[in-house]
């Protein structure tokens, strides 16, 4: 195993037996032996990846693709049929809500039981007990049986134990979807803190924003294989495009009517020829009822420009055409730094409180005051219907560079006035 890595997964395959009609008891199994037919379903068909010590990675994909199975293989809840999984150090996991908790035991008793499963001694748990209780914010309920806890309280206690066992590797499966917004923020802050101290983190989540906030790499699993890996924002854009294509295909199949006028469909193949105004790395999705015909970055004199100073004003010109009458749309844009950091985004609904009528051929202009610090950035553009249907959405449609002769630190400039005496 490479000493720089905390996790190494090599050509792992995993199958499950799927019974068609399995008997429930011994009598059924003997009398109706023909019912005991099953098939081997390969959930993982040979995945390989490694995670460096102190790195955070995300696993994404649709339900049933093998994300949670992969995580259970890492925790040794399951074992691969083929391939190897190697881990370096103590592992802590949040795989299922309240796993390892006994419903009739109190929260305090379950802390001792759960932490001992992770390898802590009683003395170590004694030292951490109050810290665990304080983080969970359950002090007034800590001596009640956990069967009286809500799902949110379960999550608070489970998370509090898992992050306080000084693990080298932390595995999380959708657990952060439970709980109120304040506690979720508290969990993310804690994850950043333990990551800064060198803990390796693997997260499975459908909330892509969570992964983008904390992870350096995303692995997109599809049909038991890793389809793509890389910077979370880039991988997620490709994943969302694929999901949108499948959704549109289902909608077309459901709502297809003879002789009904259809808008031209956006090309969705891997070899799609993007329009000339798009970057080569652009990703496009949507129904095509409205689609962009041009996107321009320029100065206030309408001169095309791709390098801006930190204090310049930037104009974005979006030209479009519509293929359905009487539509209303919400046009918007987003700006992402080259490393995938979401710097800003807004749209007409946010700025004006309403949608605008979509013209047969139209134009939307946006003027923004640039406060970004020197770096390379990407522009995303989109137009949606009032009920959230994506007409056209182009990720990384254009790139631009911000330069400056000043030496600010961070993402953007916040005008500041100093005084002293």
Q: Residue 153: what pLDDT?
A: 86
240 located within any domain? no
Residue 340's pLDDT band, with cuts at 50, 70 and 90, is confident
pLDDT top residue among 244 and 125: 125
Q: Residue 246: what pLDDT?
A: 76
Residue 63's pLDDT band, with cuts at 50, 70 and 90, is confident
CA gap 67, 103 in Å, rounded: 28
Task: Spell out the residues 6+ positions from residue 339 whose beta carbon is closer than 8 angstroms to its own.
Answer: 231
293 with 340, same domain: the answer is yes
Q: Residue 293: what pLDDT?
A: 96
204 with 350, same domain: the answer is no
pLDDT for residue 217 is more than 90: yes
Q: 233, 251, 281: which is the final residue of a domain?
A: 233
| Mean pLDDT computed over 193-201 | 91
pLDDT top residue among 304 and 256: 304
190 with 123, same domain: the answer is yes
For the ranges 66-75, 140-149, 181-190, which has the lowest average pLDDT? 181-190
- Percentage of the chain beyond pLDDT 90 is 50
66 with 210, same domain: the answer is yes
Task: Spell out the residues 6+ positions from residue 207 whose beta carbon is closer than 8 angstroms to its own.
Answer: 176, 177
| Mean pLDDT computed over 332-360 | 93
pLDDT top residue among 248 and 411: 411
72 with 149, same domain: the answer is yes
User: If you ran DSSP here, which 8-state letter would residue 31 be given?
Assistant: H
CA gap 315, 363 in Å, rounded: 13
**DSSP β-ladder status, 328-337 and 307-309:** unpaired
Domain tally, the chain: 2
**Which stretches of 95-194 are assigned E, i.e. beta strand?**
169-173
Say if residues 74 and 30 touch (Cβ distance below 8 Å). no
| Mean pLDDT computed over 105-110 | 92
412 located within any domain? no
Residue 399's pLDDT band, with cuts at 50, 70 and 90, is very high
229 with 273, same domain: the answer is no
376 located within any domain? yes
Q: 211, 233, 255: which is the final residue of a domain?
A: 233
pLDDT in tens, 9-56: 999 999 988 766 555 666 565 655 555 566 788 999 999 999 999 999
Q: Residue 31: what pLDDT?
A: 58
CATH number at residue 353: 2.70.50.60
Q: 180, 213, 233: which is the final residue of a domain?
A: 233
pLDDT top residue among 250 and 198: 198
Would you call 57 exposed, middle or buried from its count of C-beta atoms within 10 A (0-12, 13-18, 19+)?
buried
106 with 219, same domain: the answer is yes
Q: Residue 358: what pLDDT?
A: 95
CA gap 361, 61 in Å, rounded: 37
219 with 281, same domain: the answer is no
SS3 157: helix
Q: What angle do CA 81, 84, 87 make, to 5 degrees?
A: 130
Could you give the dihedral angle defined by the CA atoms of residues 355, 363, 398 and 354, in that order, rounded to the nearest 10 degrees?
A: -10
Ordered DSSP codes for 259-278 = T---PPPPP-STT----TTS
411 located within any domain? no
CATH number at residue 47: 3.40.50.300
70 with 193, same domain: the answer is yes
**DSSP β-ladder status, 390-403 and 307-309:** parallel
**Which stretches of 5-156 are assigned E, i.e. beta strand?**
5-19, 38-52, 56-60, 82-87, 91-94
**Widest distance between CA atoms in the chain:** 94
Buried b (16+ CB within 10 A) or exposed e, 67-85: bbbbbbbbbeebebeebeb
User: Residue 354's CB: how many other CB atoms inside 10 A?
Assistant: 10
Q: Residue 1: what pLDDT?
A: 85
How far is residue 421 from each of residues 27, 352, 376, measured CA to CA in Å?
91, 44, 40
pLDDT in tens, 243-293: 877 776 676 666 554 445 455 555 444 445 789 999 988 999 999 999 999
Residue 86's pLDDT band, with cuts at 50, 70 and 90, is very high
Cα-Cα-Cα-Cα dihedral sign, residues 265, 268, 271, 275 = positive
66 with 207, same domain: the answer is yes
Phi-psi region of 388 (alpha: psi -120 to 50; beta: other; left: phi over 0): left
pLDDT for residue 146 is more than 80: yes
Q: What is the span of the domain harbouring residue 112?
A: 5-233
| Mean pLDDT computed over 288-308 | 93
418 located within any domain? no
Ordered DSSP codes for 331-400 = EEEEEEETTS-EEEEEEHHHHHSS-EEPPSEEEEEEEEE--BPSEEEEEEEEEE-TT--EEEEEEEEEEE
Q: How many CA atoms lie within 13 A of 115 on its CB side?
A: 26
190 with 281, same domain: the answer is no
Say if residues 263 and 324 touch (Cβ distance below 8 Å). yes
95 located within any domain? yes
Buried b (16+ CB within 10 A) or exposed e, 280-305: eebbbbbbbbbbbeebbbeeeeeeee
Q: Residue 64: what pLDDT?
A: 84
Mean pLDDT of the chain: 86
308 located within any domain? yes
70 with 135, same domain: the answer is yes
């Amino acid at each position: 195993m490479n000493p720089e890595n905390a996790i190494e997964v090599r050509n792992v395959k995993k199958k499950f037996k799927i019974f068609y009609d399995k008997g429930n008891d011994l009598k059924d199994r003997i009398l109706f032996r023909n019912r005991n037919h099953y098939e081997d379903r390969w959930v993982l068909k040979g995945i390989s990846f490694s995670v460096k010590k102190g790195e955070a990675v995300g696993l994404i994909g649709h339900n049933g693709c093998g994300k949670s199975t992969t995580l259970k293989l890492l925790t040794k809840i399951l074992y691969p049929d083929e391939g190897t999984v190697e881990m370096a150090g103590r592992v802590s996991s949040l795989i299922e809500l309240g796993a390892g908790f006994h419903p009739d035991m109190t929260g305090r008793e379950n802390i001792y039981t759960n932490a001992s499963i992770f390898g802590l001694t009683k003395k170590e748990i004694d030292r951490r007990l109050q810290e665990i209780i304080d983080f969970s914010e359950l002090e007034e309920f800590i001596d009640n049986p956990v069967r009286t806890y809500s799902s949110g309280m379960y999550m608070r206690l489970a998370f509090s134990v898992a992050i306080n066992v000084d693990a080298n590797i932390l595995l999380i499966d959708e657990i952060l979807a439970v709980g109120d917004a304040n506690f979720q923020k508290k969990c993310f802050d804690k994850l950043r803190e333990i990551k800064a101290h060198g803990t390796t983190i693997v997260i499975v989540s459908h909330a892509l924003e969570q992964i983008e906030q904390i992870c350096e790499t995303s692995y997109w699993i599809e049909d038991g294989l890793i389809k793509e890996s890389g910077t979370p924002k880039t991988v997620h854009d490709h994943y969302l495009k694929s999901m949108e294509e499948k959704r549109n295909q289902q909608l077309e199949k459901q709502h297809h009517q003879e002789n009904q006028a259809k808008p031209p469909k956006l090309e969705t193949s891997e070899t799609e020829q993007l329009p000339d105004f798009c970057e080569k790395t652009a990703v496009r999705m949507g129904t095509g009822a409205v689609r962009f015909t041009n996107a321009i970055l320029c100065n206030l004199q309408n001169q095309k420009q791709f390098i801006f100073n930190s204090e310049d004003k930037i104009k974005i010109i979006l030209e479009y055409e519509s293929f359905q009458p009487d539509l209303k749309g919400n046009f918007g844009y987003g700006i992402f730094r080259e490393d995938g950091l979401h710097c800003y985004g807004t749209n007409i609904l946010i700025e004006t409180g309403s949608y605008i009528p979509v013209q047969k051929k139209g134009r939307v202009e946006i003027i923004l005051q640039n406060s970004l610090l020197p770096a390379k950035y990407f522009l995303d553009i989109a137009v949606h219907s009032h009920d959230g249907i994506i007409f056209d959405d182009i990720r990384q449609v254009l790139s631009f560079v911000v330069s400056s002769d000043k030496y600010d630190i961070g993402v953007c400039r916040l005008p500041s006035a100093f005084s002293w005496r």
